[in-house]
Amino acid sequence: MTKSWMSVVPFAFVLLWSTGFIGARFGLPYIEPFNYLFIRMLLTLGAFFILIQIFRAKWPSWDVAKHQLVTGSLIHAGYLGGVFAAIKMDMPAGVTAIVVGLQPLLTAFLSKYWLGARLNRLAWFGLWLGLLGVVIVLGSGLVDHNFTLNAGAVVAAIVALFAISIGTLYQKRFGTGADLLTGSFIQYVATAVWMGVLTFTFETREVVWDPELIGGLIWLVFGLSVSAILLLLLMIREGESAKVASYFYLVPPATALEAWYLFDERLSALTLLGVVVTVLGVYLTQKASTKQA
């Protein structure tokens, strides 16, 4: 892919990925979280199977496929399952996002010791500044709310944080040899199995097929599970892990803007300040990564 197209990919990814909480908000009132994810994975597998036939994508060897199963278990099952479980246990979505928002820092820290990546002071400053922006954006929406966290919700959010951080690094180190389409299909097979086990073990699987649920499900499949994930895997393949991870800092501000537009949620001056700080942090991280390249 040309450099001009690759420069657009991260921003398309952020726009799509940021709608995940929006799609969840539309659907979760009518369905349990693991069942929601299980049905989403089954539909996603169908979509990818069709794409594989159209583009005649090559299936990987077992040595490559087994790494895709691990990646799927981490990036998809661990992350999504942890986030949805935390919210199900009454952790506010904003607080959950703050915990998961530590992902770029954790990824940068782990990549230093696992992949031997080097980050200069400007890169570290950008990462910390981006985290501060995320906290400002999400914290501004929690100022007037009181909530109680239970241990299970905290554990679930931390599982999500480590799952996507380790999964990103694992895919960078072991999973880049697979075709994007067939590799993603195998990842979603692992995710579907995990979600199936969870929903059939812990949930009633009752569903109210409201138009909002159907619309949210369609968007999560084609907007997130197909389009956004392919862009994420492409970025992991083409760029260093810390640089890719820093784009996740742009997701909470984008989500705040979308929630303001779609649900008339308050967008305060403090929120806008957080957006500016976050964008500046990402810019500094990218600038530092470019200088090192």
Average pLDDT for residues 93-118, to the nearest whole number? 74
Answer yes or no: is 274 within a domain: yes
Kindly report the pTM of this predicted structure. Answer: 0.80
- What is the predicted pLDDT for the residue at 160? 94
Q: How many domains does the chain have?
A: 1
Residue 4 domain-assigned (yes or no): no
The alpha helices in the chain, defined as continuous H runs, are 3-17, 20-27, 33-55, 62-71, 79-88, 93-100, 103-114, 121-139, 151-174, 180-202, 211-219, 229-238, 241-246, 251-263, 269-292
Quick: pLDDT tens for 94-103.
Answer: 677 777 877 8
Cα–Cα distances in angstroms (integers) from residue 281 to residues 14, 38, 103, 245, 255, in the given order: 15, 35, 14, 12, 17
- Position 6 in a domain: no
Q: pLDDT band at 115, cuts 50/70/90?
A: low
Higher pLDDT, 97 or 81: 81
8 belongs to a structural domain: no
Q: Note the pLDDT tens digit of each residue in 179-205.
A: 889 999 999 999 999 999 999 999 999
* Mean pLDDT confidence for 47-58: 92
- What does residue 207 show for φ and ψ, rounded to 5 degrees? -135, 135
- Tell me, yes or no, whether 76 lies in a domain: yes
Higher pLDDT, 229 or 144: 229
- Looking at the domain assignment, is residue 3 inside a domain? no
Picking from 41, 48, 65, the residue whose alpha carbon sits closest to that of residue 196 is 41
Nearest one of 108, 106, 128, 130 to 119, comparing CA atoms: 108
N-to-C CA span, the chain = 18
CB 258 within 8 A of CB 19: yes
Residue ranges making up the domain that contains 106: 14-292
* The two structure tokens encoding residue 273: 């300040």
Task: Please say if the pLDDT value at position 293 is more than 70.
Answer: no
CB 26 within 8 A of CB 215: yes
Strand partners, 191: none
Query: Is position 198 within any domain?
Result: yes
Cα(193)–Cα(207) distance, integer angstroms: 20
Q: How buried is residue 52: exposed, middle or buried, by Cβ count under 10 Å (0-12/13-18/19+)?
A: middle
Question: In the predicted model, what is the mean pLDDT of the chain?
Answer: 83
pLDDT of residue 249: 74
pLDDT at 265: 65
